[in-house]
């Protein structure tokens, strides 16, 4: 029976990691996989996480089961960072822990499907796993343009989709630090999107995987909060894997906002049943560490400081790239105004390949770069190589 399974394409980024590891050129540059890196190229454990983990080791007295909703202390502690002062929107929001942001997106889409969604509108390009999850759930992906050809967020296209949406449709939006383009909606654009959603038949699903890596924790939640203030119902997927550096510990949360708080129990009982059938319950360790941090003022301050250091470095690299301006046929100026880890360069596949073969520069075939792979010591080489392959 198993012979009938046809091979699936390997994950392109994982294949790239292997090629990069095997390359012995000392000045190689890895702009592929989506993790933060310091100026020295490391992805260290946050000091705040290390301290929280020490406390966990000393204080945790049981590893007994928690249940499908995971660590509710973690889920609740995160809410003010996402939703602001009135963190439950008057008792209309509840959440549960998930295995990473991926688990949260999966759960949100499965729940939407259970409630009647058949089609999901998604700005393209997007994180490739969005499409994979939709395919796996047998949901129809209806794509629209995320950005214009001038590299600005395409407001008309998203507003058109929202206005034409039918009952049961879901609109999936990136909360901040758009993956892969780095092109976020401005606050004014978010206001317009929130107004449109308030008049729309569609339910929004907001996927926030990089809060704090763009402009600031609060600033990066602007769009999410603007939408929640206007719409009756919404689904939210949050990842703490980037902004706490907990990638492999798989730390995420799913939240639902209901029209009326009295509906939350039924909604969350469905979410819990889906979680139970998928992964039973999420891994505990990383979420417990985040709870320890968020419940302690000193650790919270330390974490926010570390996050700011990351954000500042990303902004510095972006500013430096923008300063370089034109590199061959590639205009690097827009990268200065984009947010988060990623940007897409308009490179043909053959140019991406030439960068790898001739210059030891590794990036996704789509031209997506992780700007955290750059630092003051290698930007010049990168900019020169871009000019060489594109002029």
Listed ranges 46-54, 96-104, 108-116, 310-318: which one lies at the site for ligand PMP (CB under 6 A):
96-104
Say how far apart CA 356 and CA 346 lie, in whole Å: 16
Piece in contact with ligand PMP (CB under 6 A), picked from 80-88, 97-105, 196-204, 272-280: 97-105
Strand, helix or coil for residue 277: helix
Per the listing, tokens 């789509």 go with: 366
Listed in order, strand segments (DSSP E) in the chain are 29-30, 93-99, 119-124, 140-145, 170-174, 203-208, 234-239, 251-257, 326-327, 330-331, 342-344, 361-362, 368-370
Query: CB of 237 within 8 A of CB of 101?
Result: yes
The answer to the question of residue 220 lying near ligand PMP (CB under 6 A) is: no
Per-residue contact track with ligand PMP, 245 to 274, x per CB under 6 A?
A: --x----x----------------------
174 is an interface residue for ligand PMP by CB under 6 A? yes
Catalytic residue among 220, 242, 249, 284: 242
184 binds ligand PMP (CB under 6 A): no
Instruction: Tell me if residue 207 is catalytic.
Output: yes
Q: Candidates 196-204, 239-247, 325-333, 382-390 — which segment interacts with ligand PMP by CB under 6 A?
A: 239-247
Residue among 71, 127, 249, 303 flagged as catalytic: 127
Question: Do the Cβ atoms of 206 and 234 come closer than 8 Å?
Answer: yes
Least distance in angstroms from the C-beta of 371 to ligand PMP: 14
Dig out the tokens for 145 from the structure.
Answer: 């343009």
Q: Which is nearer to ligand PMP, 46 or 127 (CB)?
A: 127
Q: Of 207 and 306, which CB lies nearer to ligand PMP in the complex structure?
A: 207
- What distance in Å separates the CA atoms of residue 275 and residue 278, rounded to the nearest whole number? 5
Is residue 170 a contact residue for ligand PMP (CB under 6 A)? Answer: no
CB of 182 to ligand PMP, least distance (A): 11
Structure tokens at 242: 């980037």
Give DSSP secondary structure letters for 303-325. HHHHHHHHHHHHHHHHHHHHHH-
Calculate ∠ Cα 193-143-12, nearest 5°.
120
CB neighbours of 3 closer than 8 A, spacing ≥ 6? none
Is 241 a binding residue for ligand PMP by CB under 6 A? The answer is yes
Residues binding ligand PMP: number (CB under 6 A): 14
Selected from 68, 70, 95, 100, the binder of ligand PMP by CB under 6 A is: 100
Q: Any contact of residue 209 with ligand PMP (CB under 6 A)?
A: yes
Say how far apart CA 368 and CA 21 lie, in whole Å.
Answer: 19
Smallest gap from residue 127 Cβ to ligand PMP (A): 4
In whole angstroms, how far apart are CA 153 and each of 3, 143, 147, 243, 365? 45, 15, 4, 24, 22
Verify binding: residue 97, ligand PMP, rule CB under 6 A.
Answer: no
Q: Considering the candidates 71, 207, 220, 241, report the single residue annotated as catalytic.
A: 207
Nearest distance from residue 366's CB to ligand PMP, in Å?
13
Q: Is 241 one of the annotated active-site residues of the chain?
A: no
Q: Which helix (H) or strand (E) holds 130?
A: helix 128-137
Which residue stretch of 95-103, 133-141, 321-329, 351-359 sits at the interface with ligand PMP (rule: CB under 6 A)? 95-103
Interaction of residue 239 with ligand PMP, rule CB under 6 A? yes
Spatial distance between the Cα atoms of 315 and 321, rounded to a whole number of angstroms: 10
Say whether residue 318 binds ligand PMP (CB under 6 A): no
Q: Cβ(242)–Cβ(161) under 8 Å?
A: no
127 counts as catalytic: yes
> Which residue is nearest to ligand PMP, using beta carbons?
100
**Residue 37 DSSP SS3:** coil
Asked if residue 34 binds ligand PMP (CB under 6 A), the reply is yes
Catalytic annotation, residues: 127, 207, 242
Residues that bind ligand PMP (CB under 6 A): 34, 100-102, 105, 127, 174, 179, 207, 209, 239, 241, 247, 252
């Amino acid at each position: 029976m198993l012979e009938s399974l046809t091979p699936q394409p390997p994950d392109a980024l994982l294949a790239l990691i292997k090629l990069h590891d095997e390359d012995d050129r000392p000045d190689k540059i890895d702009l592929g996989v989506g993790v933060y890196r310091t100026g020295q190229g490391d992805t260290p454990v946050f000091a705040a996480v290390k301290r929280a983990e020490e406390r966990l080791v000393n204080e945790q007295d049981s590893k007994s089961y928690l249940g499908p909703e995971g660590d509710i202390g973690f889920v609740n502690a995160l809410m003010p960072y996402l939703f602001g002062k009135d963190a439950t929107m008057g008792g209309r929001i509840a959440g549960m822990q998930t295995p990473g942001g991926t688990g949260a997106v999966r759960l949100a889409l499965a729940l939407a499907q259970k409630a009647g969604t058949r089609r999901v509108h998604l700005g393209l390009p997007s994180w490739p796993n969005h499409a994979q999850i939709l395919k796996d759930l047998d949901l129809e992906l209806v794509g629209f343009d995320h950005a214009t050809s001038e590299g600005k967020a395409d407001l008309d296209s998203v507003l058109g989709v929202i206005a034409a949406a039918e009952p049961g449709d879901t609109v999936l939006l990136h909360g901040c630090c758009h993956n892969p383009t780095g092109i976020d909606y401005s606050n004014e654009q978010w206001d317009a999107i929130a107004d449109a959603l308030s008049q729309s038949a569609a339910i929004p699903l907001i996927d926030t995987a990089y809060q704090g890596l763009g402009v600031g924790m609060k600033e990066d939640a602007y769009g999410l909060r603007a939408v929640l203030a206007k719409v009756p119902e919404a689904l939210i997927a949050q990842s703490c894997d980037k902004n706490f550096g907990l990638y492999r510990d798989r730390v995420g949360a799913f939240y639902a906002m209901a029209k009326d708080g009295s509906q939350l129990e039924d909604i969350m009982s469905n979410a819990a049943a889906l979680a139970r059938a998928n992964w039973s319950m999420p891994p505990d360790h990383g979420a417990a560490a985040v709870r320890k941090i968020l419940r302690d003022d000193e650790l919270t301050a330390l974490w926010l400081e570390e996050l700011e250091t990351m954000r500042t470095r990303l902004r510095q690299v972006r500013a430096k790239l923008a300063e370089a301006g034109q590199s061959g046929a590639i205009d690097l100026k827009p990268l200065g105004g984009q947010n988060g880890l990623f940007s897409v360069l308009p490179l043909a596949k053959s140019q991406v390949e030439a960068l790898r073969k001739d210059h030891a520069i590794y990036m996704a075939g789509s031209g997506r770069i992780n700007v955290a792979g750059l630092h003051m010591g290698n930007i010049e080489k990168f900019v020169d190589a871009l000019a060489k392959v594109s002029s």
